[in-house]
């Protein structure tokens, strides 16, 4: 386990007694989770995914990924919410924000909005390239991915013929029921399973996340190994960084810190932040309660939200994810004329400067009244990624217990859908 | 003026008396702004940019943009904060999030982080393509863009030789002083001006924004025309949508709505949201006050933050930017087997479905206790973009007056910089 949690920037914001009380609650909540006696306990299948996965399916995932890489330059991944955020977070975390411009296989995430231009652009980007499709939907009827899949099914069949298209389409869906499963069986698509006991936002370590990640060329064995280390470390409630993180954030919330700012100093973390916002927002934001999840990339957004964080309403706390090692570094070179006054940095690497910016910012924000947590991992690699996924999933479940909400439901998401189906005249929804 | 502000989703959240009092204050603030008697009045040059710009420089911007388009397939724009957000917001608003994958000229925004890998990837993306550089910095010494420019100056000189590189580098900087101006004069770079009386976050309608936008192939005349219409409409305080928006958001803030969620149903608006977050966060977030600016793209994020918005803490309000017309549409086709149950949508366009999703969501969120404002523009085109830039700039200045803060300073941004320079041993900063 490489993850450590630095709490030195919390001093003065929480008392020992507050943190100790919350830690006790967190340990109890973690035990209830381990015993399966927690709220929403029909959705805790994610807990054992790193160890108890279906070996036969996992082998098929790897084979399908290899086939995709051999036969396509574009993989179109159709899904919304938990059906795309985890994979996209992983691919950009591991490959950088410019992954699609630099890698041999582009991974396009579509069907996560109802914007027609976005869908047209995805079709444009397929021009002249070979394409595979991975459609991800438990039911097959979620509006956004269903519209996109109708378009791409036709596109693939027009282009490749029905038989070849069927070999290029992979469906991740319910194991037995639903329109997408039925269609797949009829058409002969290879299928992978969205388990019944794993909710969308907890599904990145199922085929939902693993197939696109493997197709993008990353090592899912290592991701699972990282997650497995975390699973073992947090198996018993109490003395671990994930429970501690849950205790701290819940304590801060009780003391009026209403906004959590997920922060990283590497732009490749941008979509991981989005994954975090779904995980925490959808799990905690209910019954009129919940920390509002926001995100920033520094130093970029120090020149945007930095002023607010330093000096606005004192309701923000910061959770920084930092990495001990970088993938590629670059040394600042001396310049004979020192035209920009930067020679004082000559010989330093950018990663050293970036790390110093982080230390400087932590000090400034604490001075300004913003409690900061620093979660430190080894590197932006597969193993750390697996650890981070599991770390945040576990802490989220524990945090919700401290707030007194069910971490695994999302009743509020239905409200707009019901209105929409009624307005659109969907059968069964009367005006 | 195409902008309208729909306030029907505010009913029950604000009384007539509250709104009327705030509107009166807004009108007074707008008059003080027009008279130049407001706080920070040495930074209100942005107000007259759509009419009082330097014609000679504007002609040079267009010529430089044409030269860039003729001689390069990549334009590297080096800048941070206000020196990149406006141009990037505009280019993605007008060209979509996939602009760089589809247009003949890629626009890469670099020097907005200290991440070495990000910078290396930008260099990788220049391989085999002709390159121009636009470096944007008032002083020339801001750390992030200065590091990036050191790297790209060397890259350009190594690749093209000093003389040709100088023709391919364009500097947007102070009109007379600073290290970047001095260097540019020495090396023979063409320069454009960051005016003294326009702050970074208000600079999109100067050369800072206009050169990259024009180079990307968009019509800056129309952007300025849209902004000009807004300038004229808001010239006198009071009876206009921008002052009304300022009055509403300030009233909501006074009633405990602490988070403003900038919302759009088109992914091409993503970076405009980021521009808004800088504009409002940096202007309002001071003296322990200010609305926290957050952003979402729907329906994407209804499957992420939707649960929180519907049912979490009741401190959120929503500002939706909507468009009457779309650029490209797509009609849902009938499917003989109706395998996904979507035939009830057959014959409808995606934009109709998207618009219905918006109506359904507005109703749901209001029911859930979230006041919503809908700002409606004609289309995602240059004219509306110009209007929107000016609308939000003006409203921001007025809003700050209602909160009692100076809209044009950012004292809190210095705190981390001072620490950083000290830690890095910058001359003049002692440990």
Identify all chain A residues contacting B267, using CB atoms and an 8 Å cutoff.
113, 115, 118
Closest residue on chain B to A143 (Cα): B342
Copy the structure tokens of residue B193. Answer: 């001006």
Q: Which residues of A touch B169 (CB under 8 A)?
A: none
d(CA A374, CA A263): 9
- Which residue's entry shows tokens 């079709």? A123
pLDDT in tens, A291-347: 999 999 999 999 999 999 999 999 999 999 999 999 999 999 999 999 999 999 999
- How far apart, in whole angstroms, are the C-alpha atoms of residue B250 and residue B179? 41
List, in sequence order, the alpha helices (H) in B127-255: 143-168, 179-187, 207-215, 220-233, 241-254
Q: Hey, what's the torsion of the CAs at A134, A140, A145, A151, to 10 degrees?
A: 80
* 3-class SS string, A159-190: HHHHHHHHHHEEEEECCCCCHHHHHHHHHCCE
Q: How many CB atoms lie within 10 A of CB B340?
A: 25
- For testing contact with chain A, the best of B201, B300, B349 (most A CBs within 10 A): B300
| DSSP character at residue B219 | -
Q: Are strands B4-6 and A4-6 parallel, antiparallel or unpaired?
A: unpaired
Put simply, the answer to whether B96 touches A82 (Cβ < 8 Å) is no
Determine if residue B290 is left, alpha or beta; phi over 0 gives left, psi from -120 to 50 gives alpha, anything else beta: left
DSSP of A131-158: EEEEEE-SSS--HHHHHHHHHHHHHHHH
To test the contact with chain A by mutation, choose from B109, B301, B306, B366 the residue with the greatest count of A C-beta atoms within 10 A, namely: B306
Three-class DSSP category at B260: strand
Is 0.90 surpassed by the pTM of this model? yes
Cβ contacts (< 8 Å) between B349 and chain A: which residues?
Answer: 116
State mean pLDDT over A385-390. Answer: 98
Q: Which residues of A touch B114 (CB under 8 A)?
A: 265, 299, 350, 353-354, 357
Could you give the percent of chain A with pLDDT greater than 90? 98
Please name every residue paired with B76 in a beta bridge, in sequence order, or none if there are none.
Answer: B108, B133
What are the structure tokens assigned to B244, written together? 């009304």
Instruction: Kindly report which listed range (A179-193, A209-223, B1-15, B206-220) carries the lowest average pLDDT score.
Output: B1-15
**CA torsion angle B26 B27 B28 B33 (round to 10):** 90
The tokens of A74 are what? Answer: 């574009």
Q: By CA distance, what is A108's nearest residue in B? A: B98
Nearest-angstrom CA–CA distance, A204 and A53: 13
DSSP result, A229-258:
HHHHHTSSSSSSHHHHHHHHHHHHHHTT--
Across the interface, whether the CB atoms of A115 and B316 are under 8 A apart is answered no
Which residues have CB under 8 Å from B289's CB, separation 6+? A312, A313, B403, B404, B405
Number of cross-chain residue pairs from A and B with Cβ atoms under 8 Å apart: 412
CB-based burial, B229-249: b 16+ in 10 Å, e otherwise: bbbebbeebeebbbbbbbbbb
Q: Which of B24, B129, B417, B418 is catalytic?
A: B417
pLDDT along chain B (431 residues), means of 10: 93 94 96 94 97 97 98 98 98 96 97 97 97 97 97 98 98 97 98 98 98 98 98 88 98 97 98 98 98 98 98 98 96 96 97 98 98 98 98 98 97 95 93 59
**Dihedral angle over CA of B212, B214, B218, B219, nearest 10:** 140
Q: Please indicate whether, in this complex, the C-beta atoms of A119 and B350 are within 8 angstroms of each other.
A: yes
> What are the distances in angstroms from CA A137 to CA A145, A181, A411?
7, 9, 18
**Location of structure tokens 């990624």:** A385
Overall average pLDDT of the A373-402 stretch: 98
- Distance in angstroms (rounded) separating the CA atoms of residues A191 and A180: 9
Q: How confident is the model at residue A431 (pLDDT cuts 50, 70, 90)?
A: low
Active site residue B121: no
- The whole-angstrom separation of Cα B314 and Cα B317 is 9
Task: Compare CB distances from A282 to B297, B298, B307 and report the shortest one's residue.
Answer: B307
A286: closest CA of chain B, how far (Å)? 4
Closest chain A residue to B140 measured between Cα atoms? Answer: A340
Residue of B nearest to A153 (CA): B335
- Tell me which residue in A115, A309, A415 faces B354 most closely, judged by beta carbons: A115
Is-contact A199 A82, C-beta < 8 A? Answer: yes
Tell me what pLDDT residue B53 has: 95
Q: CB distance A300–B80 less than 8 Å?
A: yes
In this predicted structure, what is the pLDDT of residue A106?
Answer: 97
> Bridge-partner residues for B191, per DSSP?
B171
Q: Which are the contacts of B85, defined by CB distance < 8 A and separation ≥ 6?
A: A304, B201, B204, B271, B274, B275, B278
Q: At B235, is the secondary structure helix, strand, or coil?
A: coil
CA distance B309 to B318: 9
d(CA B293, CA B384): 22
Among the partner residues A81, A341, A367, nearest to B303 by beta-carbon distance: A81
Q: Position of tokens 């206790």? A: B369
- For chain B, the C-alpha Rg in angstroms (whole number) is 23
Residue of A nearest to B365 (CA): A416
Mutation site, A151, A273, A299, interface B, largest B CB count within 10 A: A299
Q: Which position among B274, B282, B318, B382 bears the catalytic label?
A: B282
Type and span of the H or E element at A303: none
Count CB-CB contacts under 10 A for residue A431: 5
The DSSP result for A56-99, as a single string, is HHHHHHHHHHHHHHHH-SEEEEE--GGGTHHHHHHHHHHH-TTH
Peptide bond between residue B299 and the one before it cis (omega within 30 degrees of 0) = yes
Nearest residue of chain A to residue B417 (CA atoms): A360
Q: What was the pLDDT predicted at B431?
A: 59
3-state secondary structure of B234: coil
The active-site residue out of A282, A284, A318, A393 is A282
Instruction: Kindly report each contact of residues A48-52 with a partner whose C-beta sits within 8 Å and lies 24 or more positions away, as own/partner.
Output: A48/A231, A49/A198, A49/A205, A49/A206, A49/A227, A50/A205, A50/A224, A50/A225, A50/A227, A50/A228, A50/A230, A50/A231, A50/A386, A50/A390, A51/A228, A51/A231
- The mean pLDDT value of chain A amounts to 97
Nearest CA distance, A341 vs chain B (angstrom):
7
Q: What is the reported pLDDT for A203?
A: 98
**Nearest residue to A105 (alpha-carbon basis) of A86, A121, A125:** A125
Three state DSSP letters for B63-115: HHHHHHHHHCCEEEEECCHHHCHHHHHHHHHHHCCCHHHHCCCEEEEECCCCC
Sorted by sequence, the CB contacts under 8 Å of residue A406 that are 6+ apart come out as A39, A40, A286, A400
DSSP for A309-369, written as a single string? HHHS-S-EEEEEEEEEE-SS--BPPP-TT-TTS-GGGTT-BHHHHHHHHHHHHHHHHHHTT
Q: Which residues of A touch B121 (CB under 8 A)?
A: 96-98, 101-102
Query: Is residue B98 annotated as part of the catalytic site, yes or no?
Result: no
User: How far apart are the C-alpha atoms of B73 and A108, rounded to whole Å?
Assistant: 23
Task: Provide, as residue numbers in chain A, all residues whose Cβ is less than 8 Å from the Cβ of B298.
Answer: 113
Whole-number Å distance between alpha carbons of B283 and B288: 13
Residue of B nearest to A365 (CA): B416
Average pLDDT over residues A162-175: 98
Flag if A364 and B416 touch (Cβ within 8 Å).
yes
Strands B74-78 and B106-110, how do they pair? parallel
Chain A CB contacts of B359 below 8 Å: 419, 423
Distance of CA B54 to the CA centre of its chain: 22
Terminal C-alpha separation, chain A: 55
Contact B368 A412 (CB under 8 A): yes
In order of A215, A232, B412, the CA distances from A221 in angstroms are: 13, 16, 45
Note whether B308 contacts A300, CB cutoff 8 Å.
Answer: no
SS3 B320: strand
**Looking at CA atoms only, how far is residue A268 from chain B in angstroms?**
8
Are B416 and B423 contacting, i.e. CB atoms less than 8 angstroms apart? no
Judge: B285–A277 Cβ closer than 8 Å, yes or no.
no
Give the pLDDT confidence score for residue B237 in this predicted structure.
Answer: 73
Report the pLDDT value the prediction gives residue A236, as an integer from 0 to 100: 82
Which residues in B lie closer than 8 A to residue A340 (C-beta atoms)?
A: 140-141, 146, 149-150, 179-180, 183
Across the interface, whether the CB atoms of B348 and A311 are under 8 A apart is answered no
CB contact under 8 A, A368 and B278: no
Our answer to whether residue B417 is catalytic in this structure is yes
The angle, 0 to 180 degrees and rounded to 10, between the axes of the packed helices A116-126 and A143-168 is 20
Question: Of these residues, A11, A303, A414, A431, which one is catalytic?
Answer: A303
The phi and psi torsions of A73 (rounded to 5 degrees) equal -110, -10
Which tokens go with A363?
């000090």
- Other Cβ atoms within 10 Å of A414 Cβ, number: 13
């Amino acid at each position: 386990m490489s993850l450590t949690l630095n709490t030195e920037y919390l001093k003065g914001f929480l008392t020992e007694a507050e943190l100790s009380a919350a830690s006790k609650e967190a340990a109890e909540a973690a035990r209830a989770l381990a015993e399966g006696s927690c709220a929403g306990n029909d959705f805790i299948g994610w807990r054992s995914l790193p160890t108890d996965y279906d070996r036969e399916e996992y082998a098929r995932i790897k084979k399908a990924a290899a086939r995709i890489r051999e036969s396509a330059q574009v993989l179109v991944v159709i899904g919304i919410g938990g059906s795309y955020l985890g994979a996209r977070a992983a691919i950009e975390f591991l490959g950088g924000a410019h992954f699609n411009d630099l890698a041999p296989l582009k991974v396009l995430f579509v069907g996560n909005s109802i914007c027609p231009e976005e869908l047209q652009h995805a079709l444009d980007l397929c021009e002249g390239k070979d394409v595979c499709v991975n459609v991800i939907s438990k039911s097959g009827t979620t509006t956004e991915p269903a519209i996109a899949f109708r378009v791409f099914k036709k596109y693939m069949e027009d282009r490749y013929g029905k038989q070849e298209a069927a070999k290029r389409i992979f469906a991740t869906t319910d194991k037995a029921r639903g329109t997408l499963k039925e269609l797949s069986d009829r058409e002969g698509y290879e299928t992978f399973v969205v388990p019944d006991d794993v909710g969308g936002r907890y599904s990145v370590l199922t085929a939902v996340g693993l197939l696109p990640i493997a197709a993008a060329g990353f090592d899912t064995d290592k991701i699972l190994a990282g997650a497995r280390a975390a699973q073992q470390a947090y198996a018993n409630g109490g003395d671990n960084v994930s429970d501690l993180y849950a205790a701290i954030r819940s304590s801060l919330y009780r003391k009026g810190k209403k906004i959590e700012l997920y922060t990283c100093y590497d732009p490749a973390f941008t979509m991981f932040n989005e994954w975090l916002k779904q995980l925490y927002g959808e799990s905690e934001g209910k019954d009129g309660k919940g920390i509002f999840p926001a995100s920033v990339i520094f130093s970029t957004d120090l020149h945007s939200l930095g002023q607010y964080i330093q000096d606005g309403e004192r309701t923000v706390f910061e959770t920084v994810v930092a990495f001990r090692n970088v993938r590629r570094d670059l040394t600042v070179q001396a310049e004979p004329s020192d035209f920009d006054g930067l020679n004082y940095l000559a010989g330093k690497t950018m990663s050293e400067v970036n790390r110093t910016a982080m230390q400087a910012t932590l000090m400034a924000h604490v001075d300004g009244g913003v409690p900061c947590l620093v979660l430190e991992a080894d590197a932006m690699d597969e193993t750390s990624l697996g650890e981070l996924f599991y770390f945040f999933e576990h802490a989220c479940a524990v945090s919700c217990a401290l707030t007194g909400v069910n971490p695994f439901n999302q009743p509020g998401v239905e409200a707009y859908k019901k209105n929409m189906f009624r307005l659109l005249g969907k059968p069964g929804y009367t005006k």
